[in-house]
């Protein structure tokens, strides 16, 4: 395995692993806090039980997220020293702020998890809110730093070095808002729907189980609105890409030939050698309309860009299709659930909805992985879009396949253990009917 | 020396303070793991339970100090971060494995398995395995951290050339001096943990256990410190010379000696709170002595703080971020410690 590929694989694997835990770390505290608040308001002890169980799950996922995040902060230097040497001064600012947000999150999570009988109920709830807010802020700052790699601003590049550095302008880069919005909503949608799916499954067999009914209602409260809004924020992101990274857009769409009134391709397989995408369903004028709000707008195709500036087209296109497809399903199911909730219908009577939610459970995380593949692989061959190539940034250290395999093995082991431990938690499903709750 | 303190020196100073906090707080958490590994005697179970209780609520917050050091390094001194990433790739990667295993194994043990890590039963055996991994990783990680610091101090981390794999990626850190600093780090972390645990132990017998361990660790620190100082003359000549001939050296050694003697005396007389302050002071002084000895170099022998520094605007913004972050962080940390580190009630 060539060193550049090994380094990219290690980074991709580390990010792909960490993002799962980071997303849960952002959204799970909100669920915990809502459940605790409902317990405090109604005295319904099932909500307290829920808050306890969710807090326990959050503790383990947060810990793995914290250590895998540490690995990433080091890997920036271990794998991409030349990138950090030039970019550190420009994008260190959001990382510094993220450091403090993460600090606050860790402090108050400690208070929340271990402080149930040490502080007043009000202080305990406030600690949970602090975790939720700072968790969201950490994600915001880190995504801002990543957005800069797609839309590098706040410096001038002279003779292979940045000059006139302006870290604030770098933070205000045009990719920041769409990416932050898309990722934050993704965290709430994915986490909310995975929890909803986990509790929808036992409700199919015991629809009167009060514990799972309450869990489902809280999870949908957070997940469904986010999943419903996600296509709108995705549209915003796509328009950013259309203007700033036309090669990435062309790869996402498998769009090879520049044309006016370009069609939107659903599915299909891009053939780089032949320069066309086969077997796709084409919606006439769709791409021009979505990307530029004009059905006859010209959309540049890959063939108009130098071949050495192409990302791997098939990977980006397929990942994009997966994200959009599964995301649309999540939005539809969420719309149905929200409609029924708004009409005050009993969700558990609609077994089709429960089944649809079970099916949706893993989708948010698959979407997130696919989405990061679109944005990261789609940025290749650049590490800083249009400025520095990934190949120029990689460490001179040889034999990078070794750390790649070691960390992959380590994370695979951790993943299995975490999955098993969470499974144990879910299996011990409490029996509680509405009469118990009263 | 004090004539030209600019934003670069201030950011470097903040990074040193963050590293100090990591060593004094996060270091003690690793030290706790070392004592978990070495738990022995009739109160073995209680020792481990006390360690778990002491670390549980705070280790993640303590761990963030390390992330702050890394972030300050790559924001304020990107050239230094890049060079460390290249030359210390192997020991840093190994250290990360230790960090991952320590944190996850500790969490797996504390939150799962019936009876939260108590022995007996199948779940108990599983959590014993996690305890084992937690303890071994707690001992290995400080060793590797010290190895990296030793390599940095030795002046061997020059800009990577084309000298071959071993000469570039192994030889600079795998030295007797590096191993000496690794062992010293291990001894210091174990010492800190034992001293802190004397204050936190709920009953006299357990307190005595950790008092004896603290005294033993103090001896280990003494031996490792003098051994490392001896190795420094060969393995880290710049350091060794500064620590013996610099005008500030006698004052530093005197202050460190006072702190060390106070810590041991206080442990002997069972004045644990005083011992805690003195031990923390001693460790901080050792750290600052290293920093002073290599000033103005960030990576001796050639990369100074100034030469590695980011442009002024970045440094100034980082300093503002530190002020703003500190305004949130310090009250939060004080709150955390007040909630969990109240004096045990004497009953």
- Tell me the average pLDDT across A225-239: 96
Q: Is B92 on the interface with A (CB under 8 A)?
A: yes
Measured between CA atoms, how close is B96 to chain A, in angstroms? 6
CA atoms lying within 13 Å on the CB side of residue A217? 19
Q: How confident is the model at residue B238 (pLDDT cuts 50, 70, 90)?
A: confident
The answer for B303, left when phi > 0, alpha when psi is -120 to 50, beta otherwise, is beta
Could you read off the pLDDT of A258-289 as tens digits, one per residue?
A: 999 999 999 999 999 998 999 999 999 999 99
Tokens of A390: 């990934």
What SS3 string covers chain B?
Answer: CCCCCCHHHHHHHHHHHHHHHHHHHHHHHHHHHHHHHCCCCCCHHHHHHHHHHHHCCCHHHHHHHHHHHHHHHHHHCHHHHHHHHHHCHHHHHHHHHHHHHHHHHHHHHHHCCCCCCCCCHHHHHHHHHHHHHHHHHHHHHHHHHHHHHHHHHHCCCCCCCCCCHHHHHCCCCCCHHHHHHHHHHHHHHHHHHHHHHHHHCCCHHHHHHHHHHHHHHHHHHHHHHHHHHHHHHHHCHHHHHHHHHCCCHHHHHHHHHHHHHHHHHHHHCCCHHHHHHHHHHHHHHHHHHHHHHHCCEEECCCEEHHHHCCCHHHHHHHHHHHHHHHHHHHHHHHHHHHHHCCCCCCC
CA distance A437 to chain B (A): 26
Q: C-alpha angle B307/B311/B313, rounded to 5°?
A: 150
3-class SS at A271? Answer: strand
Min Cα distance A73 → chain B (Å) is 7
Query: Is the pLDDT confidence value at B341 over 90?
Result: no
Taking alpha carbons only, the member of A110, A103, A364 closest to residue A222 is A364
Confidence (pLDDT) at B114: 47
Q: What is the pLDDT of residue B116?
A: 44
Contact criterion met (CB < 8 Å) for A70 and B339:
no
In total, chain A counts a number of residues equal to 438
Copy the structure tokens of residue A26.
């952002």
Q: Which residues touch A169 (CB under 8 Å, ≥6 apart)?
A: A153, A154
User: A298 or B116, which is more confident?
Assistant: A298
> CA nearest B341 in A: which residue?
A118
A-interface mutation test, from B14, B67, B343, most A Cβ less than 10 A away = B67
Q: What is the pLDDT of residue B117?
A: 40
Contact with chain A for residue B325, Cβ under 8 A: yes
> Please, which residues have CB within 8 angstroms of residue B333's CB and are 6 or more apart in sequence?
A107, B61
Q: Is A281 on the interface with B (CB under 8 A)?
A: no
The alpha-carbon gap from A227 to the nearest alpha carbon of chain B, in Å, equals 31
B113 phi/psi in degrees, rounded to 5: 80, 135
- Report the chain A residue with the minimal C-alpha distance to residue B55: A110
Q: What's residue B124's pLDDT?
A: 65
The residue with tokens 């190949």 is A391
Beta strands in A1-96 (DSSP E): none
CB B196 within 8 A of CB B28: yes
The three-point CA angle A194-A196-A198 to 5° equals: 70
Is the pLDDT at A67 greater than 70, yes or no? yes
Which of A65, A67, A101 would you mutate first to test chain B, the one with the most B CBs within 10 A?
A67
- Which chain A residues contact residue B160 at CB under 8 A? 396
Terminal C-alpha separation, chain B: 54
Q: Tens digit of pLDDT for each residue in A305-352?
A: 999 999 999 999 999 999 999 999 999 999 999 999 999 888 888 999
Nearest to A99 among B64, B78, B93 (CB): B64
A238 Cβ partners below 8 Å, 6+ apart?
A249, A252, A290, A291
Provide the shortest C-alpha distance from residue B63 to chain A (in Å): 9
Neighbour count for residue A161 (Cβ, 10 Å): 10
CA A168 to chain centroid: 25
Residues B34-78 have pLDDT tens digits of: 999 998 889 999 999 999 988 888 888 899 999 999 999 999 999
Average pLDDT, chain A: 93
Rounded Cα gap, residues A331 and A356, in angstroms:
12
Determine contact, residues A412/A419, Cβ cutoff 8 Å: no
Residue ranges of A 118-137 with Cβ closer than 8 A to chain B: 118-119, 130
Q: Are A162 and A170 in contact (CB under 8 A)?
A: no
Any CB–CB contact under 8 A between A10 and chain B? no
Average pLDDT over residues B283-311: 93
Decide: helix, strand or coil at residue A345: coil
For residues A252 and A250, give the distance between their C-alpha atoms in angstroms, rounded to a whole number.
Answer: 6
Instruction: Choose among B29, B36, B57: nearest CA to B132.
Output: B36
Alpha-carbon torsion angle A116, A119, A120, A123, nearest 10: -90
pLDDT of residue B120: 41
Q: At what angle do helices B78-87 and B59-76 cross, to 10 degrees?
A: 110
pLDDT digits (tens, 9 = 90+) for A24-51: 999 999 999 999 999 999 999 999 999 9
Q: How far apart are CA A142 and CA A155, in angstroms?
A: 19
Residues of A in contact with B86 (CB under 8 A): 81, 395-397
Continuous segment of H or E residues that includes residue A305: none
Q: Which of A155, A29, A158 is nearest to A90 (CA)?
A: A155
Query: What interface predicted TM-score (ipTM) does this complex get?
Result: 0.92
Name chain B contacts of A115, Cβ cutoff 8 Å.
Answer: 57, 339-340
Q: Is A71 on the interface with B (CB under 8 A)?
A: yes
Assign A221 to helix, strand or coil. Answer: helix
Instruction: Tell me the residues of chain A between 419 and 438 that have a Cβ less than 8 Å away from chain B.
Output: 421, 424
What mean pLDDT do residues B121-138 have? Answer: 80
From chain A, pick out residues whose CB is under 8 angstroms from the CB of B100.
Answer: 67-68, 70-71, 410, 414
B241 CA: distance to closest CA in chain A (Å): 31
pLDDT-based confidence at B119, cuts 50/70/90? Answer: very low
> What does DSSP assign to residue A263?
P
What is the structure's pLDDT at B83?
Answer: 95
The confidence band for B113, taking pLDDT boundaries of 50, 70 and 90, is low
Alpha helices in A119-254 (DSSP H): 121-150, 167-171, 176-205, 210-244, 246-253
Contact list in B for residue A113 (CB cut-off 8 A) is: 57
Contacts of residue B92 in chain A, CB cutoff 8 Å? Answer: 74, 78
Q: What residue spans define the domains of chain B? A: 7-337
Could you tell me if B164 and B12 are in contact, meaning their C-beta atoms sit under 8 angstroms apart?
A: no
Cβ-in-10-Å burial (0-12, 13-18, 19+) of B4 comes to exposed
Between strands A281-283 and A264-266, the pairing is antiparallel
In angstroms, what separates the C-alpha of B116 from chain A's closest C-alpha? 12
Q: Report DSSP letters for A388-436, one per residue.
A: EEHHHHS-S-S-THHHHHHHHHHHHHHHHHHHHHHHHHHHSPPP--HHH
Query: Is pLDDT at B344 greater than 80 in this prediction?
Result: no
A contact residues 161-180, partner B, Cβ 8 Å cutoff: 165-168
Q: Using one digit for the tens of pLDDT, what is the confidence trace for A400-432?
A: 999 999 999 999 999 999 988 888 766 566 666
The tens digit of pLDDT for each residue in A120-173 reads 999 999 999 999 999 999 999 999 999 999 999 999 999 989 999 999 999 999
């Amino acid at each position: 395995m060539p060193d550049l590929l090994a380094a990219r694989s290690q980074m991709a694997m580390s990010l792909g692993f960490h993002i799962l835990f980071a997303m849960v770390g952002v959204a799970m505290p909100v669920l915990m806090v809502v459940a605790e608040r409902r317990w405090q308001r109604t005295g319904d002890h099932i909500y307290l039980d829920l808050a306890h169980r969710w807090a326990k799950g959050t503790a383990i996922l947060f810990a793995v997220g914290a250590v895998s995040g540490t690995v990433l902060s080091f890997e920036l230097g271990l794998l991409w020293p030349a990138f950090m040497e030039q970019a550190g001064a420009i994008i260190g600012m959001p990382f510094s702020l993220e450091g403090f947000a993460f600090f606050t999150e860790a402090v108050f999570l400690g208070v929340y998890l271990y402080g149930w009988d040490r502080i007043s109920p009000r202080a305990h709830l406030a600690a949970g809110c602090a975790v939720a807010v700072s968790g969201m802020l950490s994600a915001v700052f880190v995504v801002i730093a990543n957005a800069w790699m797609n839309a590098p601003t706040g410096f001038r590049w002279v003779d292979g070095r940045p000059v006139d550095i302006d870290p604030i302008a770098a933070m205000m880069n045009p990719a920041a808002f769409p990416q932050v919005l898309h990722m934050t909503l993704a965290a709430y949608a994915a986490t909310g729907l995975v929890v909803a799916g986990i509790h929808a499954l036992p409700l199919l067999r015991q629809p009167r189980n009060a514990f799972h009914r309450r869990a489902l209602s809280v999870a949908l409260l957070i997940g469904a609105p986010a999943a419903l809004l996600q296509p709108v924020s995705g549209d915003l992101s796509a328009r950013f890409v259309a203007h700033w990274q036309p090669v990435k857009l062309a790869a996402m769409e498998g769009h090879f030939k520049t044309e006016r009134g370009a069609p939107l391709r659903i599915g299909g397989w891009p053939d780089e050698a032949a320069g066309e995408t086969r077997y796709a369903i084409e919606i006439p004028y769709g791409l021009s309309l979505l990307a530029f709000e004009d059905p006859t707008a010209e959309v540049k195709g890959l063939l108009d860009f130098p071949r050495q500036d192409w990302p791997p087209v098939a990977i980006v296109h397929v990942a994009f299709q997966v994200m959009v497809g599964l995301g649309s399903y999540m939005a539809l199911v969420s719309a149905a659930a929200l409609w029924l909730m708004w009409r005050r219908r009993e969700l558990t009577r609609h077994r089709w909805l429960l089944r649809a939610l079970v099916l949706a459970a893993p989708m948010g995380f698959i979407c997130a992985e696919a989405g990061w593949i679109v944005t990261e692989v789609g940025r290749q061959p650049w590490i800083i879009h249009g400025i520095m190539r990934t190949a120029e940034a990689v460490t001179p250290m040889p034999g990078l396949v070794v750390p790649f395999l070691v960390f992959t093995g380590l994370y695979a082991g951790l993943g299995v253990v975490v999955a098993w431990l969470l499974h144990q938690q879910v299996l011990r499903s409490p029996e509680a009917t509405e009469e118990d709750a009263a | 020396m004090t004539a030209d303190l600019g934003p670069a020196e201030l950011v470097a100073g903040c990074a040193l303070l963050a590293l100090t906090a990591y060593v004094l707080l996060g270091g003690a958490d690793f030290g706790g793991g070392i004592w978990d590994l070495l738990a022995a005697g009739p109160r073995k179970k209680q020792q481990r339970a006390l360690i778990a209780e002491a670390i549980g609520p705070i280790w993640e917050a303590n761990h963030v100090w390390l992330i702050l050091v890394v972030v300050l390094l790559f924001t304020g001194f990107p050239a230094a971060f890049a060079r460390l990433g290249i030359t210390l790739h192997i020991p840093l990667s190994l250290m990360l494995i230790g960090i991952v295993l320590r944190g996850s194994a500790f969490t797996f043990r504390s939150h799962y398995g019936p009876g939260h890590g108590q022995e007996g039963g199948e779940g108990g055996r599983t959590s014993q395995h996690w305890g084992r991994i937690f303890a071994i990783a707690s001992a290995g990680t400080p060793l590797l951290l010290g190895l990296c610091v030793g390599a940095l101090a030795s002046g061997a981390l020059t800009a990577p050339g084309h000298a071959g794999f071993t000469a570039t990626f192994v030889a600079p850190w795998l030295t007797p001096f590096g191993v000496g600093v690794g062992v010293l780090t291990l001894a210091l972390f174990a010492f800190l943990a034992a001293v802190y645990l004397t204050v936190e132990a709920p009953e006299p017998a357990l307190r005595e256990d950790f008092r004896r361990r603290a005294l033993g660790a103090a001896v280990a620190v003494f031996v490792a410190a003098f051994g490392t100082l001896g190795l420094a003359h060969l393995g880290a000549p710049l350091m060794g010379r500064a620590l013996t001939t610099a005008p500030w050296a006698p004052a530093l050694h005197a202050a460190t000696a006072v702190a060390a003697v106070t810590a041991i005396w206080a442990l002997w007389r069972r004045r644990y709170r005083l011992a805690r302050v003195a031990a923390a002071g001693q460790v901080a002084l050792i750290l600052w002595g290293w920093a002073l000895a290599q000033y103005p170099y960030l990576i001796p022998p050639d990369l100074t703080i100034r030469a590695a520094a980011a442009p002024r605007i970045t440094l100034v913004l980082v300093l503002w971020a530190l002020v703003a972050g500190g305004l949130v962080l310090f009250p939060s940390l004080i709150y955390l410690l007040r909630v969990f580190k109240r004096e045990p009630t004497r009953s």
